[in-house]
Every structure is written in structure tokens, then in C-alpha cells.
Amino acid sequence: MRQGRRYVKLWLLMLTAVIVGTIGSGFYRGISASDEETYKGLKIFADVIELVEKNYVDTVDTEDLIHKAIQGMVSSLDPHSQLLPPEAFEELQIDTRGEFGGIGIVITMQKGVLTVISPIEGTPAYEAGIDAGDIIIKVDGESTKDMMLWEAVKKMRGPKGESVTITIVREGITKPMDYELVRDIIPIESVRSIALKPGYGYIRVTNFQENTADDIRTALDTLGSGEVPLKGVILDLRDNPGGLLNQAVEVSDIFLDKGEIVSIKGRLRRHTKIFSATPDGRKNNFPVVVLINGGSASASEIVAGALQDQKRGMVLGTQSFGKGSVQTVETLRDGYGLKMTIARYYTPSGRSIQAQGIAPDIEVRHRYIDEEEFTDEESLLKEKDLTNHLEAETLETLDDGEPEEGESEIQKEKKDSSKDQNRRRRTQNRYGPLDTEGLKTDNQVMRALSILVSYDIFKGLNS
């Protein structure tokens, strides 16, 4: 038991080191000022671990218990702070890079099963015929039941040239099918663009990673290289969950020559900063319409808020997610990482969008022109719905609407089927190839284009 106690003490020292090392000297001074309370709490923690080790009905893994205790401590702060195991920390780092080795599919956990959202064009999965909606039941013979999403992702990623076998079930096919796929380098393409008509460009940004700003500059150069000069751009940030803060600032700076972009304010002086635009010699004086929806969060909201407050772009769509906090990731020992909220951010006018979101200048609910149903955003979680979410300086109460009554089961099934089809179509459009015909069925894109064209017409009348 002496050895077990030494093990517990070692972990307690590690726990203390994690807390002091990542929060900083201010926290250390706090411990000095209240030693008795702090160490009383640590002693209770040690007592509980020892009692559980000795008396719990089943043998316990002490290391796992302590990891969960740290995770519980951190996650109780807010929904975006967490302890990252080595595998999850590695995946987070990969997601902000420009490429990785894998098979090229976007997946999610849908109703407890691993489901393909969309294959990425030109990748091994795409070439093999993997379809949106396919359910992956095995990876290299191992069942995906009860598998965490990041675990499944890690099993399918790997070095170029190595193979992985996935077993899928597909609607309309009676037996599971095995696909042996050879991994390749998969580019993480965060920016795609296309000309909707001469002089009018469309740029879609799916997330903010290391090369996003450079890719947008390239897209603008390409769109502006035609015979007709660039007269307007639609910047589509719908369903963009965010990403790197520095890329959100840099993307905003592409469209702004001066003024504030965003400010972040934390408890510590080093976590408080104002980011301002700087002129770079590019003549990006064309009008911009920014598209947002309930899936636009964090870095997306920084860009939308900056362009809106600086009167540089018109924001169209529906209320954004409302994540107005900044996280940093600290590297811990043994490959672990600590993701922790360090500041709130504010738009140039001083707005905190935390738990509120960006309100569009023109509210337009989304639907495809060839469909009757609007996209269902009411069921999407927002920041204000998350447990332990941080409060804004002033939090407005938003009306979630009244539930519909009197629907028959047939009507409900028909509506649910239509919503699922709409959701799949949005996701496929997000990750699939861009084409003008597909964008012409999107009512928000077409509304944005008509605004840009109208602006150019009126500008011509006044000149």
C-alpha cells in the first residue's frame, strides 16, 4: 500500500504542476495566500482516491480516475475547456494544418452510429464509391460501436500508401460491404471559390486553418483576373465552426485597410489585446456580402462582426452561434494538452457576441429554391444552450418559438424526411465540388448576388 500511496502522491504533484504551470504565477500567489484551504482540498482528493483504490467493489485504474477528475474540473469551467488525451491533442493539431494522411471522408456520429457525411472529391474514398449516408460498422475488422468519433478518425488516418479496410452498410444493400482503401495525402481545403457571373465571385470558407488567409488572397486574385473586374464578392461563412484566431484577424484584414478588427480581454494583461487592420496595397474596394447561419461560430463571427461594424460588408442570413470566447492549448507532459478559455472577444463596436451571436443586417432563412421546406435551424444547439456557458455582458433572452401541435404521424415523418434530405444536401454542398447550377438553387446565395448587382446598378446611376 505504501507503493500505492507514493503513486497517488506522484499524481497529485502532477495535478498541482498542471494547474500552476498552465494558469501562471497569479494562481501561484493565490495558493500562497490561501494555503490552508487549497491543501485541505488536495488532501480530501487524496483521501478519496485512496479509499476508492482500497474499497471499491471492482479494481480501479488510478491513472484513469485522476484523468477523469482533471477533466471534470476543467470541463466544469465552460463547455470549451477540456483536458485532451494524446490522441485527441494530436487530432486537434492535424485539423489546423493543411493536409494529413487518410482516406478522404467527412464523418459524424449520427444517432449513435458512425455515418459518412460526404466523401471529399478526388480522394481514395471518393474514387472507391463511398457515399454520403453510408454507415461505417467496422474499421480493420474492429466494431465502431461505442467508439469515440476521434478514435474512429485516428484509425482511418495514417501514412500515405498504407491500407485500411472499412465495412459499411448502405440503404438498399442487404449485406455489409468491405472497402480496402489505400491512404493518400488529403488536403484540408478550407477555401473554395467560383465566379457566379462575370464580375461577381463566391468564396466559401469551411474553417479557419493555417493557410486560410493565403487561400482567400489566391481566390480573389483568380476571380479578379478575368476580362470583367471584380464588382462584388459573397463570403460564405455558413456552418463554419471557427478555428485559428490569427487567421480570422488576417482574413478580416484582407477586406479592411484601417480600424479595429477585434479585441480580446482576459483576466491577465497578456491575454488582453486589440487587433487592428493595416493597408497592404491591395485594391479590395468591391462590396462584400457575408453569409452566416446558426452554424457560424467563433472565428466566423469575428470576421462577420468586423466587416459589419466597420461598414465594410453586409451580413445576410440568420443569427450566428454565439461563441465569443478565446481558447489556448497548452502542451502538458506525456502528450496531453489543456484547452482552456483565456479571454472573451469583442467586435470593433464593443459588442460581446458570447451566448448571443451576430444578428444579420438582412435576415433570410435558408431553403433551396426547388424545395418548399426552409432549413430547420431551430433544432441546432447554440452557445447559450451549452452547460456552463460563459455569460455576455448583457444577455438577451431569445424566443425559441412555440412547438407545433396537431401534426399527424404521417406529416411528421414527411417533415423529418425532408429535413434529413435538406441537411444532407447542405453538407454535400459544403464539402463537395462547387458548381454555379447548384449555387443557383440556394436562396441566400441568390439574394446576396442580387444585392451586389443592384448596388452596382445604383452606383452607375449616381455616377
Q: In which residue are the cell numbers 459499411 written?
A: 168
454 noted as active-site residue: no
291 burial level (CB within 10 Å; 0-12, 13-18, 19+): buried
143 noted as active-site residue: no
Tell which residue, 142, 137, 140, 141, has the closest CA to residue 107.
137
Distances, alpha carbon 388 to alpha carbons 129, 202, 265, 391, in Å: 42, 37, 19, 9
3-state secondary structure 244-294: CHHHHHHHHHHHCCCCEEEEEEECCHHHCEEEECCCCCCCCCCCEEEEECC
List the grid coordinates of 86. 494524446
Query: 105-110 and 113-119: which strand pairing?
Result: antiparallel
Longest Cα separation, the chain: 87
User: One of 138, 231, 323, 382 is an active-site residue; which one?
Assistant: 323
Q: What span, in angstroms and rounded, lies between the C-alpha atoms of 80 and 86?
A: 17
Tell which residue, 150, 152, 148, 149, has the closest CA to residue 140.
152
Q: What span, in angstroms and rounded, lies between the C-alpha atoms of 398 and 387?
A: 17
What residues are paired with 118 via a beta bridge?
Answer: 106
120 burial level (CB within 10 Å; 0-12, 13-18, 19+): buried
User: One of 236, 239, 309, 442 is an active-site residue; which one?
Assistant: 309
User: One of 81, 252, 298, 300 is an active-site residue; which one?
Assistant: 298
Query: 177-182 and 163-169: which strand pairing?
Result: antiparallel
Q: In which residue are the cell numbers 476543467 written?
A: 74
Amino acid at 416: D
309 noted as active-site residue: yes
Q: What span, in angstroms and rounded, lies between the C-alpha atoms of 256 and 282?
A: 10
Where in 280-400 does DSSP place strands (E)?
288-292, 313-317, 325-331, 337-346, 362-363
Q: What residues are annotated to the active site?
A: 298, 309, 323
